[in-house]
Amino acid sequence: MKSALYLGFGIALAVCGGMPVGGAEPAGPVLPASPDGRVVQEGIAIDLAVEPLVAGEPLREGQSARFRLSLSDTNTGTPLTNNFPAAWLDARQAAGGPQKAAGCREKVQSFLGGGLLTRPELDLNVYYVITLNDNATLSVVDPLFGFGNSKLLTMVFLEGRGEDWVLTPDGKRLFVALPDPGLVAVVDTDTWKVLANLPAGQRPHRIALQADGQYVWVAGEGAVTVIDARAAQVVRTLPAGKGRHDLVLSHDSRWAFLTDDAAGTVAVYDTGALARVREVAVGPRPVSIDWSVAAGAAWASLAGDGALVALRPDAAEPVARAQAEPGLGRLRFA
């Protein structure tokens, strides 16, 4: 990254070339940022860290980097939460020295306006849209680029067509179920490279992540594959029925529920022991299942007779049943 770039943050204040700028002129002299990337003004500290994606490697021009921005109270050290800062990188207009406050303020205002002629060198506020395509690829798209059109940033090439996927809570890894090759692709969202292709049995088609982020559960024909999300390694393969499955995990990550439309059952798994603890008969063709936090139970929809069935981890049979119309499909709780 060149030194001829400055960083602007738009929130209650902005920082340009080490100079904090608010909506009005500063009351006193403005201090430059310290060598460790900290700026302090009016009791608020802004800490900026720029890190390589691979720990231990030096920062180099042209390579991707990770930006971390922290706001805290200088008196107590308490982090300032529920703030949503905006940040940009742009070239300095004047060589040497920090950007003047007025010029920086104008820059920030122009970036907030989103005009095509005043785009920064790098917008750190963007989000990307990922599409799961029919041709064994993922597309990474910037949906806000230029004249109402999107911009294709890159494509991720997979070993087969993806059917289901799940993103880790920190947004850094994407797990994609690939039925035909019997694999789960692990994609690094920093580099958009495939880190690993993990074996997942026959035709893996449903994938879910525990709320605690520990395990990824993958349902296939005849087996459930459990993957350590952090290590990106298969840790256990558990038995399942031969039919198509839907899969859900309890909100506390203690239980997994797997439907089997051919057998008319729901299997219950203990995520701590990584073992199947029971199989509950529910009725014809359970095709979908979801967890209700309010009920403390998993609810399955039966396409065969149109029933909705509730199951609890410690119950050997359904604890509630509601009748609807035959042909029910996907069930989800808001």
DSSP letters for 119-159: --SEETT---EEEE-TTSEEEEEETT-STT--EEEEEEE-S
Sorting pLDDT into bands at 50, 70 and 90, what band is 109? confident
Residue whose C-alpha is closest to residue 218's, from 236, 235, 231, 205: 205
pLDDT, position 111: 86
pLDDT, position 333: 93
Residue 100 has pLDDT above 80, yes or no: no
pLDDT tens sequence across 250-309: 999 999 999 999 999 999 999 999 999 999 999 999 999 999 999 999 999 999 999 999
Q: What is the mean pLDDT of residues 94-117?
A: 71
pLDDT tens sequence across 209-253: 999 999 999 999 999 999 999 999 999 999 998 878 999 999 999
pLDDT, position 34: 57
Q: What is the mean pLDDT of residues 154-181?
A: 97
φ, ψ (nearest 5 deg) of residue 101: -60, -45
pLDDT tens sequence across 68-83: 889 999 999 999 988 8
Concatenate the DSSP letters of all residues of 40-88 into one string. Answer: EETTEEEEEEEEESSTTPPP-TTS-EEEEEEEEETTT--B--S---EEE
Q: How far apart are CA 17 and CA 6, in angstroms?
A: 5
Residue 33 has pLDDT above 80, yes or no: no
Q: How much is the mean pLDDT over the chain? A: 86
Residue 62 · residue 93 · CB < 8 Å:
no
Walk me through the domains of the chain, giving residue ranges and CATH numbers: 5-123 (no CATH), 162-323 (2.130.10.10)
pLDDT, position 2: 30
Pick the more confident residue, 281 or 65.
281
Task: For residue 28, give every residue at least 6 positions away whose Cβ sits within 8 Å of its Cβ, in sequence order, or none.
Answer: none
Pick the more confident residue, 186 or 171.
186
Q: How far apart are CA 231 and CA 207, in angstroms?
A: 17
Q: How far apart are CA 19 and CA 279, in angstroms?
A: 63
Q: What is the mean pLDDT of residues 313-320?
A: 96
Report the percent of the chain where pLDDT is more than 70: 84
Q: Which of 7-16, 146-155, 174-183, 229-238 has the lowest mean pLDDT?
A: 7-16
Task: For residue 250, give every residue at least 6 positions away whose Cβ sits within 8 Å of its Cβ, in sequence order, or none.
Answer: 256, 257, 291, 298, 313
Residue 329 has pLDDT above 80, yes or no: yes
The strands making up 206-209's β-sheet, listed across from edge to edge, are 206-209, 215-219, 223-228, 233-239
